[in-house]
Amino acid sequence: MNPPATASHADEINRLHKEVVRQTDESRKCLHAGVAAAWQAGQLLIVEQKRVRRTMGAAWGFWLNEKFQGTHRTAQNYMRLAESAPDVTALQGLSLRQVYLRLGIATEPKCRTDSPHVDQLPPHVRLANKLLVALSTGDKASRATPEQSAAFRQDLRALYERLRRLFDPGIPANIPGSALSNKNP
């Protein structure tokens, strides 16, 4: 059986409990002050971005490098916060990371050990993604002249025939007269 708490223990326990309550309250105030400061910085960054773009064109990145002591990503996050939350008081009691999470704003892990390991995509997937980006950039094929479209199809014919075999099993490996007829797959 445990001995009963002495008066001095009870006093110390209650003093520590009051300290926990006080520190927790201070912590909430500090968290909100940080969120409010990020929100206000985002508001000002939005105003500054409009001014810089209006007066200097595409110099926003240069302005950030010269004037803002944070990273471009931090500036973007502050601006997204300011755009997403019309009233910062609704975010009371949340940390900045919690606010970003609720608003769908991407954040970096706190440290490298917190970040999940993601294997690099296989080379064929990386190349396919690059090709899709190249093909979709500007949709050049839709604005091309008939001669340019024919040249575009000619350039991609070998790739098309090779990929077609992967998706249509009825196509023979060697198509007579094709660019692939004498090549290994």
**Tens digits of residue pLDDT in 137-157:** 545 545 667 877 777 778 778
Look up the pTM and report it.
0.52
pLDDT tens readout for residues 65-82: 999 999 899 999 999 988
Whether the CA torsion 136, 138, 142, 147 is positive or negative: it is negative
Give the separation between CA 51 and CA 170, rounded to whole angstroms: 60
- Contact status, residue 74 vs residue 66, Cβ threshold 8 Å: no
pLDDT digits (tens, 9 = 90+) for 21-33: 999 888 888 888 9
pLDDT in tens, 105-121: 877 666 666 655 656 66
Measured CA to CA, the distance from residue 144 to residue 151 in angstroms comes to: 10
* Predicted pLDDT of residue 134: 64
